[in-house]
Chain A
Amino acid sequence: MDSKFFLEFVTSLPYDYSDVRYEENRTVQIVYSGKSLKKIAENNTSGGHIRVYHKGGKGVGSFTDIKKMYPLTKELAETAEASAKDSKKKIKLAPAPVVKCEVILKPPIHPLSVSLKEKKELLEEYNNTALSVNGVKTTEMYYYEFYSKRIFANSEGTLIEYELLIVNIGGTIIAIKDGITQSMRVTIGGNDNYGKLLNRWDIFQKKAEKAVELLSADPAKGGTYTVILDPSEAGVFIHEAFGHLSEADIIQNNPAFREKLKIGTKIGNDILNVSDDPTIMDVPGGYVFDDEGVLGQKTRLITNGILTGRMHSRETAADYNEPITGNMRAVDYKFTPIIRMSNIFIENGTSTFEDMVSSIDDGYYIVGAKGGQTSGDRFTFGAEYGYRIKNGQLKELIRDINMSGELFSTLKNVKMIGNDLAFSEVGGCGKGGVGGGMQLNRKSGKGSPHILIENVTIGGKQ
């Protein structure tokens, strides 16, 4: 589509502010289930999303047929106007620079330059590597590539043509013995470079061996412990426990949380520094412009334990009277942009892993993220495996670990931070309930050094 068509359309509208985002999306998926090729697919879809702000109200909506863009826009403007009549609070947008720009990605090896056959063969090799490990029952392995060509135009004159691209190989390795089932997740890639997927057999081999080893491990014992989280798990912790509450739309209409999370509040120990940074382009959450036409930028969320920033849209920035940050993103045209973390991470501290282990009398070393969830200040997340720590030493392997906690007390319980910051190659975050349905965003990065937390609740038999 011609980008000027959208700019002309949106600048001709008689509303206070409007924007349109039009996308052409291509997804390639290859899936192996055990030895069998389960799916080979290429999807090509297109569509747009409109936002209308008028007289203090707003309406948003999506279309696939361009002819429906016109009646939909009118309907959304009516919604905006009608809703504003009864609402005490009038929606405003913080100012943002007018931009005319084109963003073309140039990865060292562009996935679009690699044949489908080569992609399938690479996935098959990694899958066979995992399946060849004695004791592995089956696998579910995928190749995933998402390429999105987007046009963003707003009534202020901004016109941006930009690309998003992410490629991953990953999946689950399952081992079963004597009625015990254990699974390990593995993911490589996470940016726009196909080259990052090459020559990675070792990780599939090691993860498969670990899945088998876990069959002989004991489950975690429920209780409250001091734990060390590895960078992968600590990344999930900061994403789930703190990151979501730093997304301004989550707490915008929750007076209690707005009070608790005022800028300048002491939220953690002095050693804790947390940032969100979309300008780190080689990890999953990197991008140039967000889906509201705002340049992505690093935001320091916690500095020396004090809350110093949060992630914003133009709407929430105006509401909070804080700076815009460029965090508004939509997974595709079916969705309105919402505030998302880009690459959230705990910055390096000064402790070593050995210092942490030797400081614990009875606890766990927890390894490998297995997903998490947050609701308000409560969070829960799982781990792939762990090790018992007794009297300052790593002991036996442990399986089936799930832990939970409350944000404010847990952040204060982060007592040591390592000097070995690492980002996960896997992105992925589900967020719903703000402006519509669940959006599963693969372009969401997280990182951390090893961290030590006291008083963490671990579920399980006592």
Chain B
Amino acid sequence: MKKAERIIDFLKPHFDEVEVLYQEGEEYTIGFENSQFSYGTGNDTTAYAIRAIKNGKMAFTVSNSTNKKNLKKVLETLKELVETGTPVEFSFNKNSNYEEVKHYAPSIKKTTSSQMYEEGMYIINKIKEKQPDATINVTVSKGVNILHYANSNGIYVSDKGSAFSTTAYLLYPGMGMGVGTWSSSLKKFRISSRKLNNIVKDYRIGLNGFTPQSGKMPVIFTPRGLFAVVITLIEGISAENVIRGISPLKDKIGERIFSEKFTVKDMPIENTTHARRFDDEGVPCFNKVIIERGTLKMFINDLKTAHQLNTDPTGNGFKRAMFGGGIEAMPHPYMANCVIEKGNITINEIIKDIKEGIIVEHLMGFHSSNYLAGEITGQISGFYIKDGKVKGRVDGAMISMNIYQDMKNIEVSSETDIGYLGSSMPYIMVKDVNITGR
């Protein structure tokens, strides 16, 4: 019998309902700083989260040992907690229509630390061939994550995923900032020449700094730069925020919010490192369109919000957050794998028509923004465009925009890449954005 089921069998006589999310993780990362090996980190950890309901109240606990003594302690903790527990009206998941996802590559187990070291050195040496003086930081990681979900309604499901990823970051001379590239796959791969060439090209362009004049100008978000837009959007489409009355999108289902060029999907059922068969409440995940050609089609729900809105859960109950997510967090509505539909114009075509503009790779301090209201502010890390050409890095400029007001007029590129919160993101240009510079 599986561990998760054993935990359920032990606890269920004491409660009306009980569920467990059991997580096993193995990770290994090696890091290089300034082209030298710096550290190797290996983690082999397990943890499980339990929710138990009795007399309409719910208790929550996390532990990581399944021996009898500890399970008895878990039981006592839950019994005490449930007395003052969270009032609850919904039931744990009963739906077992799980789709298959292939996102585990068995070969990941055979990938050795010396092979990872070689990949790291390959990246460093290839960059050094083109840019010998650069300060280069590289990480190479592999991981296997196994999730088991079981509950007292007879549901048991598990999922196993693997990931191999590399990052390379080149620091500008005399500075603590620079340019980076990120790649990931289900199994070991070699970084593409295109990515290596691009990072060196970006580094060379970025050696010159420009501070734009304050004013309105076009801003291009790169696939990774879009993290700020996606996090802000997730706050808007979360049924939890809709119910609390704090989402600017409440009452806007069916309304055009954005440009017709903006289509956003949640795509957990695909064979990538972003895949999920089920959410952190054991609810089957499925692919869906959230924003279709600028029009809001749906909100994302967990079990609680679906019950409150008298609708079906959407398989979006995740223990994720900008800060403080993880096994100890309560599930709440969040996207699994954000995919933004690509456009039909290349990024170079977009850039060539810009008289003066900005490319955003990262926004420092974004988390201080009033993003509940759709606001995005932060210091820009990216590039400056003048007369259709990328001239250099942006120095000392801040952005201030609102996604619900400013993203009605956008261009979307035909190229995509992995983003921070999704497997396929294009470049998006927003036409008139406030920039504070000189």
Q: How far is the CB of B54 from chain A (nearest CB, A)?
A: 13
The answer to whether B65 has its CB under 8 Å from any CB of chain A is: yes
Report whether A254 and B246 are in contact in the complex, using a CB–CB cutoff of 8 Å: no
A65 to B436, CA, bound (A): 52
Q: A457-B436, A458-B436 are in contact. Are A436 and B245 (CB under 8 A)?
A: no
A60 to B44, CA, bound (A): 12
A32 to B173, CA, bound (A): 48
A141 to B255, CA, bound (A): 33
A45 to B62, CA, bound (A): 7
Residue of A nearest to B325 (CB): A440
Q: How far is the CB of B432 from chain A (nearest CB, A)?
A: 11
Residue of B nearest to A175 (CB): B246
Q: A39-B86, A61-B42 are in contact. Are A181 and B373 (CB under 8 A)?
A: yes
The answer to whether A107 has its CB under 8 Å from any CB of chain B is: no
Report whether A380 and B368 are in contact in the complex, using a CB–CB cutoff of 8 Å: yes
Report whether B364 and A253 are in contact in the complex, using a CB–CB cutoff of 8 Å: no
Q: How far is the CB of A71 from chain B (nearest CB, A)?
A: 9
Within 8 A of B (CB), among A42-95: 42-47, 57-65, 68, 72, 75-76, 78-80, 82-83, 86-89
Residue of B nearest to A61 (CB): B42
Binds B, one of A2-10, A255-263, A267-275, A354-362: A255-263
The answer to whether A20 has its CB under 8 Å from any CB of chain B is: no
Within 8 A of B (CB), among A385-407: 400, 402, 404-406
Residue of A nearest to B178 (CB): A376
Within 8 A of A (CB), among B126-152: 135, 137
Report whether A183 and B372 are in contact in the complex, using a CB–CB cutoff of 8 Å: yes
Report whether B29 and A436 are in contact in the complex, using a CB–CB cutoff of 8 Å: yes
The answer to whether A381 has its CB under 8 Å from any CB of chain B is: yes
The answer to whether A205 has its CB under 8 Å from any CB of chain B is: no
Report whether B64 and A375 are in contact in the complex, using a CB–CB cutoff of 8 Å: no
A29 to B330, CA, bound (A): 11
Q: Which residues of A contact B39 (CB under 8 A)?
A: 58-60, 336, 435-436
A252 to B34, CA, bound (A): 9
Q: Which residues of B contact A245 (CB under 8 A)?
A: 176
Report whether B330 and A253 are in contact in the complex, using a CB–CB cutoff of 8 Å: no
Report whether A253 and B81 are in contact in the complex, using a CB–CB cutoff of 8 Å: no
A60 to B41, CA, bound (A): 5
Q: How far is the CB of A234 from chain B (nearest CB, A)?
A: 16
The answer to whether B367 has its CB under 8 Å from any CB of chain A is: yes
B218-233 vs A: 1/0 string, CB under 8 Å? 0000000000000000
Report whether B434 and A65 are in contact in the complex, using a CB–CB cutoff of 8 Å: no
The answer to whether B207 has its CB under 8 Å from any CB of chain A is: no
Report whether A65 and B46 are in contact in the complex, using a CB–CB cutoff of 8 Å: yes
Report whether B34 and A222 are in contact in the complex, using a CB–CB cutoff of 8 Å: no
Binds A, one of B268-276, B277-285, B377-385: B377-385
Q: Which residues of B contact A39 (CB under 8 A)?
A: 60, 86, 330
The answer to whether A37 has its CB under 8 Å from any CB of chain B is: yes
Contact residue among A251, A373, A457 (Cβ-Cβ distance under 8 Å from B364) = A373
A62 to B366, CA, bound (A): 31
Residue of A nearest to B77 (CB): A42
Q: A64-B65, A174-B246, A435-B41 are in contact. Are A40 and B59 (CB under 8 A)?
A: yes
Report whether B246 and A181 are in contact in the complex, using a CB–CB cutoff of 8 Å: yes
Report whether B86 and A460 are in contact in the complex, using a CB–CB cutoff of 8 Å: no
Q: How far is the CB of B158 from chain A (nearest CB, A)?
A: 19
Residue of B nearest to A140 (CB): B244
Report whether A375 and B80 are in contact in the complex, using a CB–CB cutoff of 8 Å: no
Residue of A nearest to B366 (CB): A373
Report whether A40 and B373 are in contact in the complex, using a CB–CB cutoff of 8 Å: no
Q: Which residues of B contact A58 (CB under 8 A)?
A: 39-40
The answer to whether B375 has its CB under 8 Å from any CB of chain A is: yes
A23 to B38, CA, bound (A): 26
Q: Which residues of B contact A182 (CB under 8 A)?
A: 370
Report whether B40 and A59 are in contact in the complex, using a CB–CB cutoff of 8 Å: yes
A383 to B86, CA, bound (A): 33
Number of interface residues of B (CB under 8 A): 77
Within 8 A of A (CB), among B37-62: 37-47, 59-62
A108-125 vs B: 1/0 string, CB under 8 Å? 000000001100100000
The answer to whether B85 has its CB under 8 Å from any CB of chain A is: yes
A29 to B81, CA, bound (A): 11
A460 to B435, CA, bound (A): 7
Q: Which residues of A contact B434 (CB under 8 A)?
A: 222, 459-462
Q: How far is the CB of A16 from chain B (nearest CB, A)?
A: 16
Q: Which residues of B contact A86 (CB under 8 A)?
A: 37, 117, 121
Contact residue among B29, B113, B215, B381 (Cβ-Cβ distance under 8 Å from A82) = B113
A27 to B77, CA, bound (A): 12
The answer to whether A137 has its CB under 8 Å from any CB of chain B is: yes
Q: How far is the CB of B283 from chain A (nearest CB, A)?
A: 19
The answer to whether B33 has its CB under 8 Å from any CB of chain A is: yes
Residue of B nearest to A240 (CB): B365
Residue of B nearest to A406 (CB): B396
Q: How far is the CB of A67 from chain B (nearest CB, A)?
A: 11
Report whether B398 and A42 are in contact in the complex, using a CB–CB cutoff of 8 Å: no
Contact residue among B62, B85, B121, B323 (Cβ-Cβ distance under 8 Å from A43) = B62
Report whether B323 and A120 are in contact in the complex, using a CB–CB cutoff of 8 Å: no
Q: Which residues of A contact B245 (CB under 8 A)?
A: 137-138, 176
The answer to whether B13 has its CB under 8 Å from any CB of chain A is: no
Q: Which residues of A contact B171 (CB under 8 A)?
A: 254, 256, 376
The answer to whether B399 has its CB under 8 Å from any CB of chain A is: yes
Q: Which residues of A contact B1 (CB under 8 A)?
A: none
Report whether A381 and B365 are in contact in the complex, using a CB–CB cutoff of 8 Å: yes
Q: How far is the CB of B307 from chain A (nearest CB, A)?
A: 13
Q: Which residues of A contact B63 (CB under 8 A)?
A: 43-45
The answer to whether B84 has its CB under 8 Å from any CB of chain A is: yes
The answer to whether B388 has its CB under 8 Å from any CB of chain A is: no
Report whether A181 and B370 are in contact in the complex, using a CB–CB cutoff of 8 Å: yes
Report whether B368 and A378 are in contact in the complex, using a CB–CB cutoff of 8 Å: no
Q: Which residues of A contact B192 (CB under 8 A)?
A: none
Q: Which residues of A contact B117 (CB under 8 A)?
A: 82-83, 86
A39 to B171, CA, bound (A): 43
Report whether A79 and B64 are in contact in the complex, using a CB–CB cutoff of 8 Å: no
The answer to whether B36 has its CB under 8 Å from any CB of chain A is: yes
A122-133 vs B: 1/0 string, CB under 8 Å? 000000000000
The answer to whether A97 has its CB under 8 Å from any CB of chain B is: no
Within 8 A of A (CB), among B53-92: 59-65, 73-74, 77, 80-81, 84-87
Report whether A31 and B330 are in contact in the complex, using a CB–CB cutoff of 8 Å: yes
A461 to B399, CA, bound (A): 9
Q: How far is the CB of B122 from chain A (nearest CB, A)?
A: 13
Q: Which residues of B contact A222 (CB under 8 A)?
A: 214, 398, 400, 434, 436
Q: A42-B77, A116-B84, A462-B215 are in contact. Are A376 and B175 (CB under 8 A)?
A: yes
Residue of A nearest to B398 (CB): A459
Within 8 A of A (CB), among B393-407: 396, 398-400
Q: A117-B84, A253-B137, A457-B436 are in contact. Are A334 and B65 (CB under 8 A)?
A: no
The answer to whether A33 has its CB under 8 Å from any CB of chain B is: yes
Spell out B's residues near A (CB within 8 Å). Answer: 29-31, 33-34, 36-47, 59-65, 73-74, 77, 80-81, 84-87, 113-114, 117, 121, 135, 137, 171, 173-177, 214-215, 240, 244-246, 248, 323-324, 328, 330, 362, 364-370, 372-373, 375, 377-379, 381, 396, 398-400, 434, 436
Given contacts A44-B61, A62-B43, A373-B367, list 4 more A-B pairs with CB under 8 A: A41-B330, A64-B64, A181-B373, A222-B214
Spell out A's residues near B (CB within 8 Å). Answer: 27, 29, 31, 33-34, 36-47, 57-65, 68, 72, 75-76, 78-80, 82-83, 86-89, 116-117, 120, 137-138, 174, 176, 179-183, 222-223, 245, 250-257, 260, 334, 336, 370-383, 400, 402, 404-406, 430, 435-436, 440, 457-462
Q: Considering the complex of A and B, which 10 residue pairs feature the smallest CB-CB distances, nearest first?
A: A376-B176, A382-B368, A380-B365, A459-B398, A253-B33, A222-B436, A61-B42, A43-B62, A253-B34, A79-B40
Q: What would 18 A/B residue contacts be, using CB atoms closer than 8 Å?
A: A44-B62, A45-B64, A61-B44, A62-B45, A83-B40, A174-B372, A254-B176, A255-B34, A256-B174, A373-B368, A377-B175, A378-B381, A404-B396, A406-B396, A440-B324, A457-B396, A460-B436, A462-B434
